[in-house]
Copies of this chain bind each other. A is one copy, B any other.
Amino acid sequence: MTVAGVDRAAGPAERIAGLHLLDTDVHHDLPSYDELRPFLAAEWHPWIAGGGPGFARRHYSNVKAHIFMDDVLREADGLGAGDPDWVVEQLIRKYRIDVGVLTGTGLGVALGHNPRFCAALASAYNDWTLEKWVRPHACFKGSIVVTPQDPSAAAREIHRLGDDPGIVQVLVPSGAMLPYGQRHYWPIYAAAVEHDLPIAVHVGGEGTSIAGPPTAVGYPSSYLEFHTDNSQSMMAHCASLVTDGAFEEFPSLRFGFVEGGVCWAPYVMWRLDRCYPALKAEVPYLKHLPSEYILDHCYFSTQPIEEPADHRHLLQMFEMLRAERTVVFASDYPHWDFDNPLTAFSFFPAELRRRIFVDNVLAFYGPRLLGPST
């Protein structure tokens, strides 16, 4: 199929000029683990017989009541986000999105206790995404979900799919055992840069399965509190990537922070920069100011975009973090706190909006985002 804005016959420059919106965070739904069966190694079939694993659950009361946008819940057959045609209609066409990057609901594999099972499930999930969503629909691109708890398996999965034209990133959750800058993870980054794929950290998983509590001081009481606190793991990963030297080791590594908020980034940059001159003897392998690594390697997705009462404050914050090169659009469809691109950014200068909606997204993913998926 052809989707508004993506005309495969057009040359790159013309095509780019014709783009309206690129969405870095579209959650396609897995209606049932049974759909993965054709893609899953046979030895694991008995293990999903009971309906699949229940990992990555949070226990904040009544969270289902607000997890989805009202119009995604279909009376007839459950969740519309499990149907590619529905998502094309309800998201892609409605909001004039050219390409939506699929982030799914499979991040739990990154935090499951059994890394072998999780690696098998990740492969099945990735193949299912490609076959059911990406190959038939030019408007979708896929992510490789992996098992950071077993970096060697994650690297193998990246090498297996890393050159697939339907794949544009490696996807991991913010919940983790260790900060993402640590050497434990470097085989994943070596594989990713070999295939010119960025890493996206999508918020989620804190306090579940093999991840520690969601904050340094334990468990939040409410989902409102949790939802605010869960940016902290993003900050920890960001500081770790810089200070552990991951960007020195992998100069072409790009890291996206998805759904973790944006306006904490100036604080983290300034705090690191403030301390770095006095402490650089401790990190002699760093060659630049910490903020330079962040500005050169990191991207921050918009949703859920902060909404200060005074619009000027958000624009000032965006200037502080050089949004014209670091911020990318995300809708988070079909979740309750979906950002409507037609209204959420209406007060932004057109040029900045264009950078966030199109140019920065292309810089993050590279040209593969606009190529064919078959």
- Interface residues, chain A, CB within 8 Å of chain B? 60-62, 65-66, 174-182, 206-207, 211-225, 227-233, 235-237, 239-240, 243-244, 261, 263-264, 266-268, 270-276, 278-283, 290, 304-308, 313, 316-317, 319-320, 336-337
Report yes or no: A279 in contact with B227, Cβ–Cβ below 8 A. Answer: yes
Residues of B within 8 A of A336 (CB): 278
Residues of B within 8 A of A317 (CB): 266, 320
Q: Within the complex, which residue of B221, B266, B271, B290 is in contact with A240, where a contact is CB–CB below 8 Å?
A: B221
Provide the bound-state CA to CA distance between A272 and B272, in Å: 25
Report yes or no: A211 in contact with B216, Cβ–Cβ below 8 A. Answer: yes
Report yes or no: A177 in contact with B313, Cβ–Cβ below 8 A. Answer: no
Total copies of this chain within the assembly: 2
Provide the bound-state CA to CA distance between A358 and B216, in Å: 32
A-B contact pairs, 12 of them (CB 8 A): A179-B215, A212-B212, A216-B236, A220-B239, A220-B240, A220-B243, A222-B243, A224-B276, A228-B268, A263-B266, A274-B305, A316-B316
Q: Within the complex, which residue of B62, B264, B268, B283 is in contact with A222, where a contact is CB–CB below 8 Å?
A: B283
Known contacts A216-B214, A317-B266; is-contact A275 B227 (Cβ 8 Å): yes
Report yes or no: B272 in contact with A261, Cβ–Cβ below 8 A. Answer: no
> What 7 pairs across the A-B complex have the smallest Cβ distances?
A215-B236, A270-B306, A225-B243, A216-B233, A232-B232, A263-B267, A224-B279
Q: Within the complex, which residue of B217, B224, B271 is in contact with A306, where a contact is CB–CB below 8 Å?
A: B271
- Give me 6 other A-B pairs in contact (C-beta within 8 A), A212-B212, A223-B279, A227-B275 excluded: A177-B217, A181-B225, A222-B279, A264-B267, A271-B304, A274-B337
Report yes or no: A231 in contact with B282, Cβ–Cβ below 8 A. Answer: no
CB distance from A278 to the nearest CB of B (A): 6
Known contacts A215-B233, A244-B221; is-contact A271 B228 (Cβ 8 Å): yes
Residues of B within 8 A of A219 (CB): 178-179
Known contacts A66-B279, A263-B267; is-contact A216 B221 (Cβ 8 Å): no
Q: Within the complex, which residue of B61, B217, B270 is in contact with A176, where a contact is CB–CB below 8 Å?
A: B217
Provide the bound-state CA to CA distance between A281 and B224, in Å: 10
Report yes or no: B236 in contact with A220, Cβ–Cβ below 8 A. Answer: yes
Report yes or no: A267 in contact with B267, Cβ–Cβ below 8 A. Answer: yes
Residues of B within 8 A of A65 (CB): 281
CB distance from A236 to the nearest CB of B (A): 4
Report yes or no: B213 in contact with A266, Cβ–Cβ below 8 A. Answer: no
